[in-house]
Structure 1
């Protein structure tokens, strides 16, 4: 995987190492999930909680597969047909993963709630091991507790790489894995409750798992749609405007021929498409060389600033980042006069 690119952006050796690590972690996750799904299927019996945990692990295949496919697609350079490149593959993969979680989580939540309302008592059988009869619930509880550490560790490792690559599919996958321990513990508690004669514990645990899946699905669908709808670039968790907005403006305003600057920046996946609007100082010469130097200076700020366009304007549009402040300053100036 040498000389990997995100579109026309050639990754630094450090970022190439991060990408290789991310791909390796996703393949490890797929291998872990194969083992987990098979083991849960062997012991789950009629338990609603175990069924919910099994479905969640099946859904957990979607984000790593979406990431691996998206990385292969996004490596293709821009063309006449796709002048912006294939970076949106990340957003599409993010949306697919979110929709899968939301749909299946909703189904699981309704199915578990219906079982609780109808008062279904889950039968948990027995296994014969070395001539001894052992309650099947012990195997369920032991398995779910054994499955706690691996996703937590994988989630933490992926989170670091996701931030380095600004990859929201990988970030969503890491976030889900970090929280996966709650599913395992909740399932074990549900099965233990059945063993204590509290039949409703099983359905309650399944409902808890369903709510967790729906929450993950809703958050990921919301973030993916926001990015695909060309909202202002935000941090990888989707909570705040991205710091590069301010950095690009500051870079432009540091030049003596620039009076005001505003940025319109959208997240295309790993990289940002950036439009920099500049109001020049009155009388300042506006040469192609100056504009080119400004664009190159912005690109050097961060590897994610792949596609930068500089436009000269008489006044900043209000919708660009920084335009609101400029409008306020202009209004204050008019009132002062």
Structure 2
């Protein structure tokens, strides 16, 4: 199952690399010969996506390495680090595009784009939206932060291509009807593209950093784990559960209450059943550490609202 997951993730990364190389080259050549600042800016955006997809590929390859002595929890956070790299690349490219667009607007020199600039942008929008849908759904299915971040790179390219399309179209109309002010909408579209890229990069980098810093699952995500443990024979209460995200998988730390008259061996057996149950029921759970507590009726119950007596053994009621 794990091998299949990484194979699919690597395929997704390669789709992004090859698709972005082709689009960046096509948009760069068309932008240069058509004289469109917006299309050239969009080409640089696609080029940044190539670097982002390479970062995702490296992160995925690192994440699939098994746990070792120095990394007993595995290498899953390599994907989160790759997502941070992708996000930073977006910020850098966005800043460069912003500076270039401002120079074009205040430089006073704008050209009338050729018709094929529009055709390339329309093709880019269709291809990039298809890549976004593919990568986003794959990333969700595989719980890959890096793939999801890379998917949003493609979506930001869709938005930038739409902005460039409007700018190029307006500039062409301005040249045809001798309305010089419309020519400036091409570099203005490049400015809009830059702002969109910066916003996307900022959002992704903050999300990626949040996930990298030992983020735990929220209640709505942890509650299914708690309910599953409550069905295990020998478990009276789930006192506490923390599920830490490590890229595409989670490590669960759980405290459970058992009958205080059980022997150490019997309590250990209950803990083993809890671990095996979670590993079998939830594919994203990679490891479980169980702490056994003697049952205490006054202990607060995590994720439950019912009376403690509802879960108490008969010998305490």
| TM-score of the two chains, using structure 2 as the length reference | 0.82
Unpaired runs of 5+ residues, structure 2, are 175-179, 309-317
SS of corresponding position for 1:203: helix
Residue 75 (structure 1) aligned to one of 24, 43, 64: 64
Aligned-pair CA distance for 1:169: 1.0
Q: Which stretch shows the higher mean deviation, 192-201 or 160-169? A: 192-201
Which residue does the alignment assign to 1:53? Answer: 42
Partners of 1:29 and 1:260 in 2: how far apart?
43
Which residue does the alignment assign to 2:108? Answer: 120
Aligned-pair CA distance for 1:54: 1.4
Partners of 1:63 and 1:105 in 2: how far apart?
14
SS of corresponding position for 1:230: coil
Contact 1:263 1:322 in 2 (8 A): no
Which residue does the alignment assign to 1:185? Answer: 162
Aligned-pair CA distance for 1:184: 1.7
Which residue does the alignment assign to 1:162? Answer: 139
SS of corresponding position for 2:281: coil
Which residue does the alignment assign to 1:62? Answer: 51
Please report the RMSD computed on the Cα atoms of aligned residues, expressed in angstroms.
2.8
Contact 2:28 2:44 in 1 (8 A): no
> Is residue 267 from structure 1 mapped to residue 245 from structure 2 by the alignment?
yes
Which residue does the alignment assign to 1:224? Answer: 208
Partners of 1:44 and 1:25 in 2: how far apart?
28
Residue 209 (structure 1) aligned to one of 193, 198, 215: 193
Unpaired runs of 5+ residues, structure 1, are 1-9, 125-135, 234-240, 331-337
Partners of 1:257 and 1:159 in 2: how far apart?
38
Aligned-pair CA distance for 1:285: 5.2
Aligned-pair CA distance for 1:305: 0.5
Aligned-pair CA distance for 1:106: 2.8
> Is residue 248 from structure 1 mapped to residue 225 from structure 2 by the alignment?
yes
Partners of 2:148 and 2:17 in 1: how far apart?
16
Aligned counterparts, 1:1-337, within 5 A: 10-11=1-2, 16=4, 19-45=6-32, 46-113=35-102, 115-116=104-105, 118=106, 120-124=108-112, 136-195=113-172, 196=174, 197=180, 198-233=182-217, 241=218, 243-255=220-232, 256-281=234-259, 283=261, 287-313=267-293, 323=302
> How many residue pairs are counted as aligned between the two chains?
293
Once the two structures are superposed, residues 108-148 of structure 1 have per-residue CA deviations (whole angstroms, 9 ceiling, x without a partner) of 224424543x2633234xxxxxxxxxxx5212122111222
Partners of 1:171 and 1:66 in 2: how far apart?
13
Q: Which stretch shows the higher mean deviation, 213-222 or 42-51? A: 42-51
Distance 1:105 1:215, change over 3 A: same
Partners of 1:81 and 1:44 in 2: how far apart?
49
Partners of 2:63 and 2:107 in 1: how far apart?
50
Contact 2:254 2:291 in 1 (8 A): yes
